[in-house]
Amino acid sequence: MVSVKDVLAARDRIRANVALTPCPLSEPFSDLCGAQIHFKLENLQRTGSFKERGAANKFALLTPAERKQGVVAASAGNHAQAVAYNAQRMGIHATIVMPEVAPLSKVVATRKFGAEIVLHGLSYDDAYAKARELEQKHGYVFIHAFDDDAIIAGQGTAALEILEQVPDLEVLVASIGGGGFLGGMALVMKEMKPSVRVIGVESSLFPKMRAALDAGGPVLIPAATTLADGIAVKRAGEKTLPLFRKCVDEIVGVDDEEVANAILSLIEREKTVAEGAGAAPAAALLHHKVKGLTPRTKVVCAVSGGNIDVNVIARIIERGLVKEGRRVMLSVRVPDRPGMLAGVLAAVAAERANVLEVVHNRAFLSGAVGDTEIALTLETRGPEHIEELTRALTAKGYAVVRR
């Protein structure tokens, strides 16, 4: 099992090549969560995630012969970029196997670091099997995403920084993929400050660590699709599981709706971009999954990564605005004759709602042939504003339906 001595050695080894990321107090999230919330911003690493720590340590430990052989890794994104970047930095050939469904932004980013990209299969497991095949065929050194002592020790260096940045912390909350990140940090916390309560956060669709702890060993979780793709691992690691048994106090789960809400809140309130896996711990805090917190409790929440496609962000923002009542679609049925649209829009303008889109529906409307349905997509101030707007339109005789 990895020791704190290994983590301390890793810190010295990677110090010049890995960023010391900030861990500021967030007043907006402290108010929302009812505790003093600090964010460890690992999304500010060169490749956008904590994975850089483990990869830098692993590469530093490669022998000259291993460097000459080249490396291979399997990843859906963040580990791929970390391996590719460190390989490029050290002049080592890297082959990265990624699932065919990996986010395009992560594939492009990995390729920019000079790695040879192989797209294979529909899941991480398919990519993993292919990477192992290439390891045997070409004699590459396989760089595991989490189940490797050097990787775990490298990831654990984040905890050493946290203890210096927030020495009086009481709770650490971080996401769980294969367990290398939180496993390494939990080891440090329980050895150097055992009073810290360590909370792991999993996607509710991939509770692989909880299942492994309950079963007494790693078990395979059924495949699924989740916004938190960075922690969509179907099986806990053989090396990380003992660290969780020994050092992690509790595991909670979050669903995609909660993660999406956290991504939007981080953007809007904290001015921080996080991917699904990086926002999962914030989701757990926002939705009060972590119990026993008080306004004085010092919490460090790890934002593990920020590599998210801008198209996904756009969809999250749009859905978030609808959920918060700041965007709404109202359908108004009126006689199909000149001036009716102007009347509806005048009523909307009087209530100070902003019109984003107008669509007429005639052909697919049931009822009187002479009617039309006007679908209005509106920007509003919130749920109360929507109610006021609906009442105003109804008072003018319009039949209004909220979509």
For the stretch 284-339, pLDDT in tens is: 999 999 999 999 999 999 999 999 988 999 999 998 899 889 999 999 999 888 99
Type of residue numbered 391 = R
Q: Which of 387, 370, 377, 256 is nearest to 327 (CA)?
A: 377
Instruction: Specify the range with the lowest mean pLDDT, choosing from 82-86, 100-104, 152-156, 355-359.
Output: 100-104
How large a percentage of the chain has pLDDT more than 90? 82
Strands 71-74 and 94-98: parallel
pLDDT at 299 (0 to 100): 98
CATH superfamily of this structure's domain 325-402:
ACT domain (3.30.70.260)
The answer to whether the CB of 166 falls within 8 A of the CB of 299 is: no
Q: Give me the sheet containing 354-361, strands edge to edge.
A: 354-361, 371-379, 327-335, 399-402
**Integer Rg of the chain from CA:** 25
For the stretch 114-131, pLDDT in tens is: 999 999 988 777 899 999
How far apart CA 300 and CA 213 sit, in angstroms, is 24
How far apart CA 309 and CA 286 sit, in angstroms, is 23
Q: What is the mean pLDDT of residues 132-139?
A: 97
pLDDT at 124 (0 to 100): 77
DSSP state, residue 274? -
pLDDT at 223 (0 to 100): 80
pLDDT at 336 (0 to 100): 87
pLDDT at 348 over 90: yes
pLDDT at 245 over 80: yes
pLDDT at 370 (0 to 100): 79
Cross-strand bridge partners of residue 40: 302
How far apart CA 121 and CA 127 sit, in angstroms, is 6
Q: What is the mean pLDDT of residues 239-252?
A: 97
CATH class of domain segment(s) 4-49+149-319: alpha beta
Average pLDDT, the chain: 94
pLDDT at 56 (0 to 100): 98
Residue 250 tokens, joined: 């509790």
Residues whose CB falls within 8 Å of the CB of residue 346, separated by 6 or more in sequence, listed in order = none
Residues whose CB falls within 8 Å of the CB of residue 16, separated by 6 or more in sequence, listed in order = none
pLDDT at 76 (0 to 100): 77
How far apart CA 40 and CA 21 sit, in angstroms, is 7
pLDDT at 39 over 80: yes
The answer to whether the CB of 270 falls within 8 A of the CB of 250 is: no
Q: What is the mean pLDDT of residues 36-61?
A: 97
Enzyme catalytic residues: 51, 304
Q: What is the mean pLDDT of residues 223-231?
A: 85
Task: List, by residue range, all CATH 3.40.50.1100 domains of the chain.
Answer: 4-49+149-319, 51-142
Q: How far is CA 367 from CA 334, 335, 340, 370, in A?
A: 12, 11, 18, 9
How large a percentage of the chain has pLDDT more than 70? 100
How far apart CA 150 and CA 313 sit, in angstroms, is 33
- 234 pLDDT band, cuts 50/70/90, is confident
How far apart CA 226 and CA 175 sit, in angstroms, is 14
Task: List, by residue range, all CATH 3.30.70.260 domains of the chain.
Answer: 325-402
pLDDT at 236 (0 to 100): 93
pLDDT at 380 (0 to 100): 96
Q: Regarding the domain delimited by 51-142, which CATH topology (the fold level of the hierarchy) does it fall under?
A: Rossmann fold (3.40.50)
The answer to whether the CB of 74 falls within 8 A of the CB of 51 is: no
DSSP state, residue 296? T
pLDDT at 224 (0 to 100): 83
The answer to whether the CB of 313 falls within 8 A of the CB of 362 is: no
Q: What is the mean pLDDT of residues 358-371?
A: 82
> How many other β-carbons are positioned within 10 Å of the β-carbon of residue 253?
19
pLDDT at 364 over 90: no
Find the length of the chain.
Answer: 403
